[in-house]
């Protein structure tokens, strides 16, 4: 019996989140052996090569992009450089489940930013969900508690930079190839790692560490490809909530690989963030269906 488009989309989203989380797991595992910038440089080089091969396989031999799109790509790339740095600083120094849980507030922040910067209509229910979701984030980071430190700020800053990245992506023309944007992005992050390494210096890299970085690069590309496939099947309102399986993967890998067991408040905060995110997806899907059933009259 063939599976439905929504089921296929849900499975692809679960696979995408698993791949991204395994990338995070591999990259976090090299923290005792490498500096942050050296890890970024090596993984970035591997990712750039893999993306270049993928872009060529898709027939993207020459990049033709307009000036306005280059501005958006520049903004997107700059935001992603800072997002990568902040996220990895947090990941290297915090439990993987806590960092992942904070990142799950992203849909809530994007909904709020869309309302503020693009005038997208957001009702009081979704504003309420955003407020409650931020309360969940506060339970995870606990300002003023012993567990709160500078690395929690890095995780929050990563969310902010990812929002800028995603909103600038929305402004790109539809004819700009995704593979080209990803390749430019990967090359810029690799360059950032190279510049940082010049300052920090280079240390010998063991074969086992290279293998883990190769694993991180492969899973990063796998997550990227699966996320593209997700957007092409199923209803977004049905498929999107499965992005929160990233938190399940992070909790499992945190326990099995790093021996990190989330405390009760972190689990409660994570549940609140996930619950409000799913509610936001539900409301957005319902509003889209209402608009489709009752389109506004044209003058």
Task: Annotate 93-138 with DSSP letters as a single string.
Answer: HS-HHHHHHHHTTHHHHHHHHHHHHH-----HHHHHHHHHHHHHHH
Whether 223 is covered by a domain: the verdict is: yes
d(CA 168, CA 113): 12
d(CA 251, CA 118): 35
Q: What is the pLDDT of residue 78?
A: 95
> Tokens 């993987």 identify what position?
96
Whether 262 is covered by a domain: the verdict is: yes
Q: What is the pLDDT of residue 45?
A: 95
Whether 177 is covered by a domain: the verdict is: yes
Token pair belonging to 198: 């010049």
> Tokens 């490498």 identify what position?
34
d(CA 28, CA 241): 26
Whether 88 is covered by a domain: the verdict is: yes
Whether 185 is covered by a domain: the verdict is: yes
Q: What is the pLDDT of residue 1?
A: 59
Count of domains forming the chain: 1
Q: Are 277 and 105 in contact (CB under 8 A)?
A: yes
Whether 241 is covered by a domain: the verdict is: yes
Token pair belonging to 115: 């309302």
Q: Are 38 and 203 in contact (CB under 8 A)?
A: yes
Class of residue 148 by CB neighbours under 10 A (exposed 0-12, middle 13-18, buried 19+) = middle
Q: What is the pLDDT of residue 297?
A: 46
Q: What is the pLDDT of residue 299?
A: 38
Q: What is the pLDDT of residue 294?
A: 67
Which residues span the domain enclosing 225? 5-293
Whether 298 is covered by a domain: the verdict is: no
Token pair belonging to 153: 């700020």
d(CA 270, CA 257): 20
Whether 213 is covered by a domain: the verdict is: yes
If the chain, 299 residues long, is cut into consecutive pieces of 10 residues, what is the mean pLDDT of each piece? 79 92 96 93 93 78 77 92 95 94 89 80 84 90 73 93 87 79 89 93 91 94 82 72 91 95 92 89 73 56
């Amino acid at each position: 019996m063939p599976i439905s488009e929504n089921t296929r989309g849900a499975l692809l989203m679960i696979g995408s989140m698993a791949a991204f989380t395994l990338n995070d797991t591999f990259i976090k595992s090299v923290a005792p052996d490498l500096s942050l910038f050296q890890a970024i440089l090596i993984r970035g080089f591997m990712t750039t090569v893999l993306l270049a091969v993928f872009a060529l396989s898709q027939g993207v031999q020459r990049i033709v992009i307009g000036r306005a799109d280059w501005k958006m790509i520049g903004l997107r790339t700059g935001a992603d450089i800072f997002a990568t740095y902040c996220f990895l600083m947090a990941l290297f120094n915090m439990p993987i489940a806590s960092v992942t849980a904070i990142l799950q507030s992203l849909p809530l922040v994007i909904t709020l930013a869309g309302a503020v910067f693009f005038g997208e209509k957001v009702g009081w229910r979704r504003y309420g969900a955003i407020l409650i979701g931020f309360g969940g984030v506060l339970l995870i980071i606990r300002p003023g508690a012993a567990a709160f430190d500078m690395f929690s700020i890095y995780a929050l800053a990563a969310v902010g930079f990812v929002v800028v990245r995603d909103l600038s992506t929305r402004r790109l023309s539809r004819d700009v190839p995704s593979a080209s944007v990803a390749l430019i992005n990967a090359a810029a992050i690799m360059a950032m790692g190279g510049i940082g390494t010049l300052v920090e210096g280079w240390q010998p890299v063991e074969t086992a560490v290279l293998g883990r970085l190769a694993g991180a690069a492969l899973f990063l590309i796998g997550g990227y490809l699966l996320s593209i496939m997700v957007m092409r099947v199923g209803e977004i309102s049905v498929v999107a909530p499965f992005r929160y399986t990233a938190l399940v993967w992070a909790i499992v890998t945190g326990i099995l690989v790093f021996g990190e067991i989330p405390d009760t408040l972190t689990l409660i905060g994570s549940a609140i963030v996930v619950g409000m995110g799913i509610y936001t997806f539900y409301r957005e899907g319902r509003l889209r269906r209402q608009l489709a059933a009752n389109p506004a009259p044209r003058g």
